[in-house]
């Protein structure tokens, strides 16, 4: 028997005065039926405020998607990996475009 961890991440932009406890109260934590014999059971909720002042996260300078710099300490799992080059932030997709 094997167990797989399935992580699905969402980014939710809200007003500055938004109460994060509302998120926990209104999310659907139903189990996910894979097929007739396998069901993925809800396991954990992690809500992290994406704020570059406190965490290794920033927005791609080109497409504005959230990234975490893989060359810096404590990269965040659940958002795209990225890098900083010459003061600009690149997600993997925009970095591929730059290389072309």
At residue 64, the pLDDT reads 93
82 C-beta neighbours (distance < 10 Å), count: 27
Are the CB atoms for 80 and 12 separated by under 8 Å?
no
Q: Mean pLDDT of all residues in the chain?
A: 85
pLDDT band at 3; cut points 50, 70, 90: low
Are the CB atoms for 44 and 34 separated by under 8 Å?
no
71-99, pLDDT tens digit by residue? 999 999 889 999 999 999 999 999 988 87
Are the CB atoms for 81 and 92 separated by under 8 Å?
yes
At residue 92, the pLDDT reads 93
Domain range summary for the chain, segments of one domain joined by +:
21-99
**pTM score, whole prediction:** 0.70
- Long-range contacts, stretch 64-72, CB < 8 angstroms, 24+ apart: 65/91, 66/11, 67/91
> Residue 29: beta bridge partners?
none
């Amino acid at each position: 028997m094997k167990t797989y961890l399935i992580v699905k991440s969402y980014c939710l932009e809200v007003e500055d005065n938004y109460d994060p406890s509302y998120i926990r109260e209104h999310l659907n934590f139903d189990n996910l039926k894979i097929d007739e014999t396998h069901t993925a059971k809800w396991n954990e909720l992690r809500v992290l405020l994406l704020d570059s002042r406190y965490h290794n996260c920033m927005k791609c300078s080109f497409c504005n998607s959230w990234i975490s710099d893989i060359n810096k300490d404590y990269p965040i799992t659940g958002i795209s990996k990225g890098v900083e080059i010459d003061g600009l932030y690149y997600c993997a997709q925009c970095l591929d475009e730059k290389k072309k």
